């Protein structure tokens, strides 16, 4: 079991806390809004009504012992910057902060954020990719150049082995896993002889420009 703290229990912070808690982790939720704290109390190990912009409030919480501290303070940019600075001073090792825009993210990195996330931008990109490429069920960029996608196989390759489908030769992408619906299991690094079924989901890694070639596959 890992330990996490979520500072800011708005829509984003609440769902991060809830998901981590439901996965069996120890979750500390903090917000200065009583209603948000009460809502999160059911899905956290402890929910505190507290002003996280007061460094003295943060000191006794043992945040430096957490596996990660997530900062999600809504639209108040100054608050997230100040809290991130305090967490860095308190020697928190893994500080994950939600940013509203690129400039906000740059400042957060400068004051000590270990990782900056852009939920609205990333969700918009994912939606756009899914709309433009219907066969791609999920899209996860992990650098400017590379991404991982979940791809529903086209009729052309259903019934073929991975070797016969020649996805690497045709698109310069790599199948790193297959999600089988029947039976319900995940096949990691499938063999070239793995036969693709119409119910399978292929997990594929490649350069984003090469993954776009899958868009025209039928």
* Confidence (pLDDT) at 86: 97
pLDDT tens digits for 147-173?
888 888 988 999 999 999 999 999 999
pLDDT tens digits for 61-71?
999 999 999 99
* Confidence (pLDDT) at 169: 93
Nearest 5°: the CA angle 67, 73, 76 is 145
* Confidence (pLDDT) at 162: 96
Per cent of the chain over pLDDT 90 is: 66
Residue 125 pLDDT exceeds 80: no
> What average pLDDT does this structure show over 17-40?
95
Q: How far apart are CA 120 and CA 39, in angstroms?
A: 23
pLDDT tens digits for 188-210?
999 999 999 988 989 999 888 88
Residue 80 pLDDT exceeds 80: yes
> What average pLDDT does this structure show over 117-124?
79
Reduce the DSSP state of residue 56 to 3 states and report it: helix
* Confidence (pLDDT) at 209: 85
Q: Which domains does the chain have, with CATH numbers?
A: 3-117 (3.40.50.720), 122-216 (3.30.70.1450)
Q: What is the CA radius of gyration of the chain?
A: 21
Question: How many residues can be counted in the chain?
Answer: 218
| Angle between the N-to-C axes of helices 77-89 and 102-111, in degrees from 0 to 180, rounded to the nearest 10 | 20
Per DSSP (E only), the strands in 32-123 are 46-49, 68-71, 95-98, 115-117
Structure-model confidence comparison of residues 185 and 192, the more confident one: 192
Structure tokens at 6: 């979520």
Q: What is the pTM of this model?
A: 0.65
């Amino acid at each position: 079991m890992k330990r996490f703290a979520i500072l800011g229990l708005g829509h984003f912070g609440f769902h991060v806390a809830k998901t981590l808690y439901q996965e069996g982790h120890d979750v500390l939720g903090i917000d200065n809004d009583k209603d948000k704290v009460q809502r999160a109390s059911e899905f956290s190990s402890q929910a505190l009504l507290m002003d996280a912009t007061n460094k003295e409030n943060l000191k006794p919480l043992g945040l430096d012992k957490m596996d990660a501290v997530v900062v999600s303070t809504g639209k108040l940019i100054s608050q997230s910057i100040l809290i991130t600075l305090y967490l860095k001073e308190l020697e928190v090792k893994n500080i994950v902060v939600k940013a509203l825009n690129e400039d906000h993210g740059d400042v957060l990195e400068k004051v000590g954020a270990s990782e900056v996330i852009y939920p609205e931008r990333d969700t918009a990109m994912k939606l756009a990719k899914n709309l433009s490429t219907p066969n791609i069920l999920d899209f996860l960029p992990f650098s400017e150049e590379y991404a991982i996608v979940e791809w529903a196989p086209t009729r052309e390759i259903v019934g073929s082995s991975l070797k016969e489908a020649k996805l690497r030769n045709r698109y310069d992408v790599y199948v790193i896993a297959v999600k089988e619906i029947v039976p319900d299991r995940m096949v990691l690094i499938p063999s070239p002889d793995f036969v693709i079924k119409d119910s399978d989901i292929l997990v594929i890694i490649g350069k984003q420009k090469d993954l776009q070639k899958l868009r025209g596959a039928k």
